[in-house]
Amino acid sequence: MARWLLHIDLDQFQAAVEFRRHPELRGQPVIVGGNGDPAEPRKVVSCASYPARAFGVRAGMPLRTAARVCPDGVFLAQDLATYAEASEESMALLRTFPGRVEVLGFDEAFLAADTDDPEELAREIRAAIAELGLTCAVGIGDNKTRAKLATGFAKAVGKTGDNAPAGKDADETGTGIFRLTDGNWTALMAHRPTSALWGIGARIAKRLSGLGIETVADLAAADRHDLAAEFGPNTGPYLWVLGHGLGDTDIAEPREPVGHSRSETFPADLTTREEFDAAITRLAAQVAEETIASGRSIGRVGVTVRTKTFFTRTKQHKLPAPSTDVDEIVQSALEILHRFELDRPIRLLGVRVEYAML
């Protein structure tokens, strides 16, 4: 049997989780972000349902802008705890299938499986995810690069034809499964811009354009030494590899988490010591309680401060001994905070703890 890489991408994940508890919202332009108040400053869209995306709403867009382009949008507050539970439920389900799973985030994962019929495996996965009240697209590839890109085609195929552009903005009218391999790579990808490749963003694409490299075919034909001279000895040749659709043919071993963190960007800058202390106390207590509830002890505490001018710095402190005392963690976070020169308004505060090594 051949080794196949399957990339599973849960559709409009945060919105879909909200649909499970608010089924009356299905089909509506749902926008998740912040506290669900589109007038709240400095908050951005974390997820938009497909109907909302049709209005131009995108992740990362300020909520106020989303309200302007989609005046009939339904705004919901982020519920990260619920999304984490739904994500773990989905990933646990994927682990019941033959093969090994590499989790990429809340809403996507790779599955490496030895099978003669990867499409049948993909159909079984989609059916199982549907039992959870969620939907997903599955990209199939002979390596991770192609599997990841195939997911975009899985969402787009059936929308505008088999050669439809892949991408995050495809809607849910596609077939949901697509295979991208060495055999159809050139036909489907050669004419596309380099930014269509996983791992090439707008900045690198612009630099490639400056070298006369506009398409995936151009990148595949580029001289690796020229790429190395422009982008460095590691990145340059790697870009050439991407142009050929090459990539890892197995998944990484799962890594145990080493810590837990919380951060908050405030609607209005904090300006007083009392406000700083209250915010860090709340964040540190939340992180400590969640960590201890998971059965972990804490060995190190860190605090991140971002000022009004976007100057960002982190300081940390190793505890004298592993701790499961919330008050001790809070006190440590306050002591670290007070080591900063708190002479400017603060835009963001964050607390991170690292698990104690056994």
**202-210 and 224-231 helices, crossing angle to 10°:** 120
Reply yes or no on whether the pLDDT at 160 is more than 70. no
DSSP tag of 294: T
Confidence tier at 310 by pLDDT (50, 70, 90) = confident
Higher pLDDT residue, 259 or 122? 122
Residue 67, pLDDT score? 97
Tokens of 330: 């809070």
Question: What CATH number has the domain spanning 259-355?
Answer: 3.30.1490.100
Reply yes or no on whether the pLDDT at 253 is more than 80. no
Residue 254, pLDDT score? 63
Domain 1-189 CATH (choose: 3.30.70.270, 1.10.10.10, 2.60.40.10, 1.10.1040.10): 3.30.70.270
Residue 162, pLDDT score? 38
The partner residues of 263 in beta bridges, in order of sequence, read 350
Reply yes or no on whether the pLDDT at 245 is more than 90. yes
Residue 350, pLDDT score? 92
Residue 166, pLDDT score? 42
Mean pLDDT over the full length of the chain = 90
Same topology between domain 1-189 and domain 191-247? no
pLDDT above 90: percentage of residues in the chain: 73
List the chain domain ranges: 1-189, 191-247, 259-355
Query: What CA–CA distance (Å, rounded) separates 68 from 241?
Result: 42
For residue 189, report the phi and psi dihedrals to the nearest 5 degrees. -115, -25
- Judge whether 108 counts as a catalytic residue: yes
For residue 154, report the phi and psi dihedrals to the nearest 5 degrees. -60, -35
Higher pLDDT residue, 195 or 98? 195
Query: What CA–CA distance (Å, rounded) separates 46 from 126?
Result: 24
Query: What CA–CA distance (Å, rounded) separates 39 from 37?
Result: 5
Catalytic-labelled residue, pool 18, 102, 108, 354: 108
Residue 105, pLDDT score? 82
Question: What CATH number has the domain spanning 191-247?
Answer: 1.10.150.20
